[in-house]
């Protein structure tokens, strides 16, 4: 390694002297430091104390000057990079530089909001990363050219939160609440996340299911400004260039969809962007991943939705979906570009791809990229957690129960496989043996060996020896399941006859109606409790209000993926994992089940309260990170001694920072 011509201390002194001379000569210049300064070398970070002295220097003139990375390099000499031989980009929150000062570890430090030279504080008010609205103090308003651009009142973040929540509660329609929240995110990012964290049970259904489904259906009409990257077939051959147009370079988590199977609503094409935007809002609010490290992406290869193709307000390509080799080549270019631009450790979460693509994409890239499919794996992990917790009410082990699914797509087969893996882990028996305790019904009836030749590849492991059965009711009577799970995406399919049949041979039938949004749920909470005479243990995908039956109040559990994927992804980030393994999913499920208390179970609830979701996510992240270290796929070394405390210390917190 080439030795530097000067020590760090000598270079600090020289740089300080140079900047002082520059400041004295041109006392009206405003000096601002590019964020890239901090990303190239540790020596730059060691100079922060010197650099910050000059960030706020300004005088009477209106001219501004930007001190660039190249200027600092010139001042520091050619040997600067050789001073410290470590990974300069490592930080406590997952291996990339905290450009916006978002890490909890820096919460009490003064930060400088400017990363580019500016002519007026007006620009600061329109930067959602840094805008605080009326919370800017008089000193900050004077220092950052905000005087006169705001009303004179100064109010704190808590009062801002109170004011906004009063306003949002006045809206009658959930879609209007959704739009208000999205507008807030575009205006004041920290206030948006403060509201979502502090009012998670009230606002989660607004920014996520079920309202996000309606938002996607109407996305063309409510679209205001881009919240992510749209990659259409027009960008074929230049996807890498498109990714470089996104202003934040230090991305840790990408959620991507092609919009073909949005919730239970079908092909919404380019308007599926609402899903990645909503998922990543939860990655930050519930999981602690800082917002600048999140990137929503929509792959637009057309749509087969006739209504959208005829809609003058549709914002996507008005052509039928590209399929086959052209589609897969396009996705391969995308995956290659992501890895090239963001590195080995960026998490790519596939979201709402149709069955025929979802399984193939996951299988293809799970050995070469850090990928996760929430519909297949996230849903499976959260349902398994509910089942593990539910065993404390039902008794026995997983292997003692019989499972019947309505729906054999991504969610159904994904859940079934994870249950079989957990059974295998507990009983030390082959996974193939444990699959025999799990039965699936699709649109053609019970999946049995007689149908094996005509089945899609992902359904074949679930074909068992049995006479053909063509409908759910007959399948229930034949299989006699102790657990009934709905992943069909079709509402009202758990009829009174079906529920009563399950209840007839189970003292406490466990019923999970998981399809989203609420309109697509296989049954309601009220129907499940009423038709089982209050004996059911019930959980759903979308939230239901408490139900009163025979003088007793029943609270439905919500098997919401939001319990799992934010903490799961955060665990991958803080460990620097480079691959996802099934053992990590099992660890996440066990961590979530472990957060269900006896108090929850006494009420028949098999999931913990969302009010403590950040604590839950920290425990999930710790378990996932621990498994990554155990499997040898973690790259952030050494392993922290207490992973729960480490996860909590890395979480983004949305409190306002004090600006110099």
C-alpha to C-alpha distance for 266 and 619, rounded to whole angstroms: 34
Report the alpha-carbon distance of residue 525 to residue 381 in Å, rounded: 22
Q: Look-up: residue for tokens 């890490």?
A: 103
Residue 40 has pLDDT above 70, yes or no: no
> Among this protein's residues, is 603 annotated catalytic?
no
pLDDT (average), residues 454-461: 93
Binding annotation for (S)-malate: 261, 516, 560
Least confident stretch, 71-75, 236-240, 591-595, 631-635: 71-75
Q: What is the pLDDT of residue 121?
A: 87
Mean per-residue pLDDT, 72-95: 38
Number of C-alpha atoms within 13 angstroms, CB side, residue 642? Answer: 5
In this structure, are residues 557 and 606 in contact, taking their beta carbons and an 8 Å threshold?
A: yes
Q: Does the pLDDT value for residue 99 go beyond 80?
A: no
CB 600 within 8 A of CB 555: no
pLDDT at residue 219, as a whole number: 86
**515 touches 541 (CB < 8 A):** yes
Q: Is the pLDDT of residue 537 over 60?
A: yes
Question: In this structure, what token pair is assigned to residue 645?
Answer: 């405390």
Lowest-pLDDT range of 105-119, 131-145, 363-377: 105-119
Read out DSSP for 416-474? HHHHHHHHHHHHT--HHHHHTTEEEEETTEE-BGGGGGGS-TTTGGG-BS-----SHHH
Separation of alpha carbons 56 and 495, rounded Å? 68
In contact, 618 and 592? CB cutoff 8 Å: no
pLDDT value at 481 more than 80: yes
How far is it, in rounded angstroms, from Cα 372 to Cα 380?
12
Of 38, 100, 208, 652, the active-site residue reads 208
| pTM for this predicted structure | 0.81
Question: 3-class DSSP state for residue 504?
Answer: helix
CA dihedral 439, 445, 449, 452 (to 10 degrees): -110
pLDDT over 60 (residue 209): yes
Mind listing the pLDDT tens digit for each residue in 119-174?
578 888 999 989 999 999 999 999 899 999 999 999 999 999 999 999 999 999 99
Q: Which three-class secondary structure state does DSSP give residue 111? A: strand
Residue 581's pLDDT is what? 96
Q: Which two tokens stand for residue 178?
A: 């959704």
Phi, psi values for residue 372, rounded to 5°:
-155, 130
Confidence check: pLDDT of 527 > 90: yes
- What pLDDT does 113 receive? 65
**CA 622 to chain centroid:** 17
Where residue 107 falls among pLDDT bands split at 50, 70, 90? low
Mean pLDDT of 564-587: 96
DSSP state of 655: P
User: To the nearest 5 percent, what fractions of the chain are helix, strand and coil?
Assistant: 50, 10, 40
Higher pLDDT, 55 or 403: 403
Q: Which two tokens mark 125?
A: 């008010």
Check pLDDT > 50 for residue 457: yes
- Rounded Cα gap, residues 314 and 296, in angstroms: 19
| 48: enclosing H helix or E strand | helix 48-55
- Distance between terminal CA atoms of the chain? 38
Question: What value does the mean pLDDT of the chain take?
Answer: 85
pLDDT at 392 over 90: yes
- The reported pLDDT for the residue numbered 67 is 43
Give how far Cα 613 sits from Cα of 205, 565, 569, Å.
14, 12, 14
Does residue 279 have an active-site annotation? yes
- Are 501 and 477 a contacting pair, CB within 8 Å? yes
The percentage of residues in the chain with a pLDDT greater than 90, rounded to a whole number, is 73
Mean pLDDT of 500-509: 95
Kindly report the length of the chain.
660
pLDDT score recorded for residue 100: 47
pLDDT at 62: 37
pLDDT one-digit tens code per residue, 596-607: 999 999 888 999
The torsion angles phi and psi of 79, rounded to 5 degrees, stand at: -90, 10
Provide the 10 A C-beta neighbour count for residue 569: 33
SS3 229: strand
Q: Which residues on neighbouring strands pair with residue 630, listed in sequence order?
A: none
Q: Is the dihedral of CA 219, 220, 226, 230 positive or negative?
A: positive
pLDDT of amino acid 466: 95
Averaged over 517-545, what is the pLDDT? 93
Least confident of 224-228, 320-324, 496-500, 616-620: 224-228
Q: Do 267 and 304 form a contact (C-beta atoms < 8 A)?
A: yes
Task: Give which of 48, 39, 32, 34 is closest to 81, Cα–Cα.
Answer: 39
How far apart CA 352 and CA 427 sit, in angstroms, is 33
Average pLDDT over residues 386-393: 95
Q: How high is the pLDDT of residue 108?
A: 57
């Amino acid at each position: 390694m080439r030795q530097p011509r000067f020590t760090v201390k000598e270079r600090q002194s020289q740089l300080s002297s140079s900047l002082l001379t520059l400041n004295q000569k041109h006392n009206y210049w405003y000096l601002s430091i590019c964020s890239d300064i901090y990303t190239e070398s540790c020596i730059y970070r060691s100079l922060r104390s010197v650099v910050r002295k000059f960030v706020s220097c300004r005088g009477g003139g209106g001219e501004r000057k930007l001190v660039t990375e190249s200027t600092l390099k010139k001042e520091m000499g050619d040997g600067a990079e050789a001073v410290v031989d470590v990974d300069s980009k490592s930080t406590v929150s997952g291996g990339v530089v905290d450009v916006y000062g978002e890490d909890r570890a820096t919460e009490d430090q003064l930060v400088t909001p400017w990363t580019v030279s500016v002519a007026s504080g007006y620009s600061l008010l329109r930067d959602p990363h840094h805008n605080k609205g009326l919370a800017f103090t008089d000193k900050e308003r004077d220092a950052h050219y905000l005087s006169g651009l705001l009303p004179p009142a100064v109010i704190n973040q808590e009062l801002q939160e109170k004011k906004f929540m009063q306003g949002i509660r006045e809206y009658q329609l959930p879609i209007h609440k959704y739009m208000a929240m999205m507008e807030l995110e575009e205006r004041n990012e920290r206030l948006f996340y403060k509201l979502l964290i502090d009012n998670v049970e009230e606002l989660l259904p607004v920014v996520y299911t079920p309202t996000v489904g309606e938002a996607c259906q109407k996305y063309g009409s409510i679209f205001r400004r881009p919240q992510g990257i749209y990659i259409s077939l027009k960008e074929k051959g230049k996807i890498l260039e498109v990714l470089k147009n996104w202003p934040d370079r230090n991305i840790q988590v990408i959620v991507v969809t092609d919009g073909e199977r949005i919730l239970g609503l079908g092909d919404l094409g380019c308007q599926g962007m609402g899903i990645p935007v909503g998922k990543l809002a939860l990655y930050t609010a519930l999981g602690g991943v800082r917002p600048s490290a999140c990137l929503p992406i929509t792959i637009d290869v057309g749509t087969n939705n006739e209504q959208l193709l005829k809609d003058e307000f549709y914002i996507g390509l008005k052509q039928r979906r590209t399929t086959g080799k052209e589609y897969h080549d396009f996705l391969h270019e995308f995956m290659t570009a992501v890895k090239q631009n963001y590195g080995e450790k960026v998490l790519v979460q596939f979201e709402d791809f149709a069955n025929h693509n979802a399984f193939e994409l996951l299988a293809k890239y799970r050995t070469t990229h850090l990928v996760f499919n929430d519909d297949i794996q996230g849903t499976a992990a959260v349902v398994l957690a509910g089942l593990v917790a539910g065993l404390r009410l039902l008794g026995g082990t997983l292997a003692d129960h019989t499972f019947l699914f309505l729906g054999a797509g991504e969610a159904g087969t994904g859940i079934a496989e994870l249950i079989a893996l957990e059974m295998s882990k507990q009983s030390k028996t082959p996974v193939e043996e444990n699959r025999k305790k799990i039965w699936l019904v699709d649109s053609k009836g019970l999946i049995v060996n007689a149908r094996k030749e005509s089945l899609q590849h992902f359904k074949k492991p679930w074909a068992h020896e049995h006479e053909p059965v063509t409908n759910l009711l007959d399948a229930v009577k034949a299989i006699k399941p102790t657990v009934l799970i709905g992943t069909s995406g079709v509402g009202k399919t758990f009829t009174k006859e079906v529920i009563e049949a399950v209840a007839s041979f189970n003292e406490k039938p466990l019923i999970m109606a998981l399809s989203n949004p609420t309109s697509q749920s296989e049954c309601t909470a009220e129907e499940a409790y009423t038709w089982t005479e209050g004996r059911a243990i019930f959980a759903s995908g979308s939230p239901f209000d408490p139900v009163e039956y025979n003088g007793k109040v029943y609270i439905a559990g919500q098997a919401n993926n939001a319990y799992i994927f934010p903490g799961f992804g955060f665990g991958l980030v803080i460990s620097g994992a480079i691959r996802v393994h099934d053992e990590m999913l099992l660890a996440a499920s066990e961590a979530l089940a472990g957060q269900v208390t006896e108090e929850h179970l006494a009420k028949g609830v098999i999931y913990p309260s969302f009010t403590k979701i950040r604590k839950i996510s920290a425990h999930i992240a710790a378990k996932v990170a621990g498994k990554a270290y155990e499997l040898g796929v973690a790259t952030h070394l050494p392993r922290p001694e207490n992973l729960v405390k480490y996860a909590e210390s890395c979480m983004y917190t949305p409190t306002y920072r004090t600006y110099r």
